[in-house]
Amino acid sequence: MNILSFCKFTLLAVVVAGVVAGLRADDDTTVKRTGTYATSNGGSGTTQSTSTYQKGTVSRQGSWTNQNGATGTWKSQGTWNRATKSGTTQGSVTRPNGKTTSWQGTTTKTAPGTIHAGGTITLANGQKETYATTDIRTAPGVWQKTETLTGPNGQKTTIQATDTRTAPGTWQDHAVTTGPAGKQVDSSSTTTLTSNQVVAQTTATLPNGQGVTAAGAYSQTAATVQH
């Protein structure tokens, strides 16, 4: 995964994570949602998802259909053991072109305000990358993240990021991503969550000095809750 592709993948992950994880529910609950989305490059479409919350486990699956009528799907599952302060995560995304990316990993809370995670990403071409992250809470609402991605040939991409909750429902992120050749992308993003909408915008400066901007918005159109 090259450095620009990684940044695009990261932006997609931020938006999807905000959409599917932003609204939480009690244990032993199933929540079904439908919605619409639009991106700054002219993309748009509809989404549907089902989230099941059980003690120690959250399972999610869903799909999206773009403006051309093509459909992609995704699914994920996370577990957390309060006694051991550790958990697991796994999931996959299948794009409308049929290509699938999947991941699996573990998460451990080693101290108050310190979380370590690591695992494997399997790309659509079958190659595997590993990831290792450390998140440290440095102040209320502020997290410092260090992440290393190691490619199939041993090449490394590193990310140094600061995530800050600036207000209820609003997060700002600043990240510097350094690719295997030492080239860097400097990016800043803002994500805002309301009761039925997620809006995300990212600006980045590429290694050649070019500035790029990407944005996306998700609006929930309906939700049903089953206990």
Q: What is the pLDDT of residue 5?
A: 45
Evaluate whether residue 220 is within a structural domain: yes
From the centroid of its chain, how far is CA 175?
Answer: 14
- 161: domain CATH number is 2.40.160
Evaluate whether residue 59 is within a structural domain: no
pLDDT tens by residue, 90-144? 999 999 999 999 999 999 999 999 999 999 999 999 999 999 999 999 999 999 9
Residue 103: give the domain boundaries.
Answer: 3-26+78-226
Counting the structural domains of the chain, the total is: 1
Evaluate whether residue 218 is within a structural domain: yes
Evaluate whether residue 150 is within a structural domain: yes
Q: What is the pLDDT of residue 21?
A: 43
Evaluate whether residue 40 is within a structural domain: no
Residue 84 φ then ψ, to 5° = -95, -5
pTM of the entire predicted model: 0.83
Q: Which two tokens stand for residue 180?
A: 């295997």
Evaluate whether residue 10 is within a structural domain: yes
d(CA 207, CA 184): 5
